[in-house]
Structure 1
Amino acid sequence: MRVVLPEACQGFCFGVKRAIDEVTSISKTGEVQVLGHLVHNPQVVEQLERDGVHTVESPEQITSGIVAITAHGAPKEIYDGFPNIRVVDCTCPFVKRLQKRVAELSEEGYKVIIVGDSHHPEVVSVSSFAIEPIVVGNISQAMEIGFFKKIAVLSQTTQDTSLLRDIACELTGHTDLLLFENTICTSTRERQAQLLDLASRCKAVVVVGGRVSANTKRLYQLSKQKGAQTFWIEGPEELSCDMLARIKTVSGNGCVGLVSGASTPPSTVLQVFSILSSY
């Protein structure tokens, strides 16, 4: 099969690579525990476990002298630290910038609206820096918001660009003054743009990434919306003979698009590329 893999759609984004490099380096000096999954990819989490970087789900489970904050961030109080424990901040710089911005806008009297998944760790983190923010995940929820004198609309860094704009447009009728800031990160925007181009040219698209990865889920949804037959896998082991046959049938004599989520290891993407190309 002829596989098209845009450079912008390969492997780790900047924030994920930075977090992995940080904890891997520190783990060489002793055990490191991460408060939540450092990134949303099972292969990465498993490799980190082998390297001495262990996941804990709550502060009460911390037993080592070093704890890391995930790339998605953490609730505001976690950054204040714990007695006799070194806290390593691996929060993505784009998320840090968003935390700071919602705090500033809250102080300026804006009702902060965050477009995102309310239970996602990044949104939970960012929300804790604002004063009574409202999180919306779709247009219906936006329509239910009341009237506020000043509204600021920002977004989870891995959100769908078109959804963000649609919600911002809806909220113009809910305020006297609307401030709209596109806080979707550069990597997400590039991947989504490349994905839309691929889905318009290829009848079949394969998306590689963790099942709980928000940005990977968005790529999958956008590809389907564009009309491409889309296959979501976490790794090469899921490319069964049956799936490969279906991908080939759907693609016909055309191309197969290949994209990855921002926390998918480059080696995983290349393995998938190799299998598809040789089929």
Structure 2
Amino acid sequence: MAPPSGVGKRVKGCQIYRPFVYGTTSRPFDDKKNPKPPGVPDDHTHSWKVFVKGVDDTDITYWLRRVQFKLHESIPNPVRMIDGEPGKPFVVEETGWGEFEITLKLYYISESGEKPQTLYHHLRLHPYGRNDEEREAMRETGQVPAWTYEEQLFNEPYEAFYEILTSGAIALPKGVAGSGATGSPAAGGASSSSAANAALAPIGKRSEGGVLARSAMVPLTSRQKSPFSRETEQLEIQKLKNAQNSVRGMTEKLLAELRVKEEQLAALRKEATEAMAGG
């Protein structure tokens, strides 16, 4: 397949990873914590959302352009195409009563020259976990998160895309979606639109190798909105090491017991041989 025009050649021997999170969060309807909105069918028991977003809510729209969510066929308009907005996740919110598999199709920016990628995720409505404590924690919070950490690999990206991925963040001007600021009043006291603000505001400058708002780096410590971090990674690694040590200890114990039994068996055989010879 011929490369897209204007993207240059592929950067040989280069691999770039960009982490992101996808999944679902559901909540049972409750008169106090999560009342059922008007118009929701009587048999719908939960509200839920499916999303794709950056780790620690960082912006990923500089490399991910669009996400297609394919829901269950019983849901009206089951195929939802969500375009990226800087600083916002790709998300679809719905209500329902049953669990099912959701198909997510990721479309990258045109400079990437990459084909769309398909992911699959199972919607969970009911508390789950490895033990009763994890399930009880979900019941207490009233939420059932089912999140997956993923790392997107771009192997030998085109030069134009390589520049976008590696040249650092672009600070968004005030008033642009995702900047966290609101538009300032225009002349005459009227509020200007975000589009007008974007047109009048100075163009953001790239940081010199910095990461800033467009960083896709995994945070060092865990936060409430982002359970994925280097800290949790190290905890999981330590759990694996502890499990390995436990298995190693059990193996050594079994080998020691086996050696004792082999020695006992050898002694019995010797006694039996001597008895037969004496007889």
TM-score range, shorter-chain basis? under 0.3
| Structure (1 or 2) with the larger CA radius of gyration | 2
Q: TM-score, normalised by structure 2?
A: 0.24
Q: TM-score, normalised by structure 1?
A: 0.24
Write 1 or 2 for the structure with the bigger share of helix: 1
